[in-house]
């Protein structure tokens, strides 16, 4: 004999209201977390990069990458000071910034305060940077150049620089102009780099890797994507910016080249991060003996 349980109108309303309140609470917590907590949950990711063309004298050399601060859009000078402190705590040999310093350069009122903060970054083998689309946007090209040079960074615009150790061994750091608002010239930036030289390319937009892989690049470091800023489990990023659609976070291998996409530090368009915490990345170089 079956027993039929009938839900009373009162019980149904109680269950519906409980579900509604639970949903509101969950949504409110999700909003609060994505708006106020995760954007300040700085993570430091560390990786070892091995290659036979990395000279033995570069074993243990540390490169720290930071990117996409977007100062002025919910990212303050106080946060930048904290980032500089964390970078120095990592004792890097080389520091690279892969673009988008200010969100809107022509609207940012405290641009004169940036260089004194970035000057404090310590990197005995050099500090290097490139243009992102926001650095060119808002009439910011000259302002960005002035700030970064005052801070002791070498701006690489379609050119390369050498990092040299005491035994005269070298690796090359190549910087591309921004793909969206600049004038990148891949042929020019690789001129006079011997093919036996380990070469790192700084390129703001990660999807440029499909073109960069045609050149003698071993490691490309990019930003721009913010990891999508909002990711959902089993779905991935909801929205990624142009030229960060195919590659948006972490390591990828394109032909013989390795790409790493840094999630950046600030936010843009929406002041939210979910499952994409801000990131500093540490790469430790290691000589890998050639396979016999």
For residue 230, is it left (φ>0), alpha (ψ between -120 and 50) or beta? beta
Q: Please state the pTM of the whole predicted model.
A: 0.90
User: Would you place residue 18 in the very low, low, confident or very high pLDDT band (cuts 50, 70, 90)?
Assistant: very low
Average pLDDT value for residue range 113-141: 96
pLDDT above 60 (res 27):
no
> Above 70 in pLDDT, residue 292?
no
pLDDT at residue 72 tops 90:
yes
Q: How confident is the model at residue 10 (pLDDT cuts 50, 70, 90)?
A: low
Q: Do residues 218 and 258 touch, judged by C-beta distance below 8 A?
A: yes
Domain boundaries defined on the chain: 8-40, 43-287
- Would you list the DSSP string of 237-256? ES---TT-SS--SEEEEETT
Q: How many CA atoms lie within 13 A of 236 on its CB side?
A: 8
Mean pLDDT in the chain?
91
Give the ranges where 161-243 is alpha helix by DSSP (H).
186-189, 209-212
**First vs last Cα of the chain: how many Å apart?**
78
pLDDT for position 28: 63
Contacts of 292 (CB under 8 A, 6+ apart): none
Q: How many CA atoms lie within 13 A of 150 on its CB side?
A: 13
Helix (H, G, I), strand (E, B) or coil at 232: strand
pLDDT in the model for residue 26? 39
How many beta carbons lie within 10 A of that of residue 108, not counting itself? 20
Q: At 134, is the pLDDT very low, low, confident or very high (cuts 50, 70, 90)? A: very high
Query: Under a CB-based contact definition with an 8 Å cutoff, are residues 101 and 147 in contact?
Result: yes
pLDDT tier, 149 (very low <50, low <70, confident <90, very high otherwise): very high
Rounded Cα distance, 230 and 167, in Å: 46
* Closest C-alpha among 59, 46, 291, 45 to residue 198: 59
**43-287: which CATH topology?**
Purple Acid Phosphatase; chain A, domain 2 (3.60.21)
The whole-number average pLDDT for the span 55-60 is 96
- pLDDT of 107: 93
Residues in contact with 257: Cβ distance below 8 Å, sequence separation at least 6, in sequence order: 209, 212, 213, 217, 218, 219, 220
């Amino acid at each position: 004999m079956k027993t039929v349980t009938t839900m009373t109108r009162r019980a149904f309303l109680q269950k519906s209201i409980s579900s509604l309140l639970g949903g509101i609470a969950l949504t409110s917590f999700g909003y609060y977390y994505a708006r106020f907590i995760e954007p300040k949950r700085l993570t430091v990711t560390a990786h070892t990069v091995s290659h036979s063309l990395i000279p033995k004298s570069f074993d243990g050399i540390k490169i720290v990458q930071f990117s996409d601060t977007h100062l002025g859009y919910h990212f303050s000078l106080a946060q930048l000071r904290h980032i500089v402190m964390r970078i120095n705590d990592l004792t890097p040999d080389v520091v690279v910034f892969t673009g988008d310093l200010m969100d809107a350069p022509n609207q940012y009122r405290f641009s004169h305060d940036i260089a004194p903060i970035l000057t404090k970054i310590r990197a005995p083998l050099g500090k290097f940077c490139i243009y992102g689309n926001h650095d060119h946007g808002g009439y910011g090209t000259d302002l960005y150049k002035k700030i970064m040079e005052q801070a002791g960074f070498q701006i690489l615009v379609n050119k390369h620089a050498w990092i040299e150790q005491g035994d005269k061994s070298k690796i090359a750091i190549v910087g591309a102009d921004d793909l969206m608002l600049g004038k990148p010239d891949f042929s020019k930036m690789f001129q006079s780099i011997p093919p036996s030289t380990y070469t790192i390319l700084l390129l703001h937009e990660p999807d440029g890797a499909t073109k960069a892989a045609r050149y003698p690049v071993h490691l490309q470091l990019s930003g721009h994507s913010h990891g999508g800023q909002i990711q959902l489990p089993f779905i991935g990023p909801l929205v990624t910016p142009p030229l960060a659609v195919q590659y948006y976070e972490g390591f990828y291998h394109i032909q013989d080249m390795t790409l790493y996409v840094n999630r950046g530090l600030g936010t843009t368009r929406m002041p939210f991060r979910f499952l994409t915490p801000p990131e500093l990345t540490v790469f430790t170089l290691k000589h890998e003996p050639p396979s016999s």
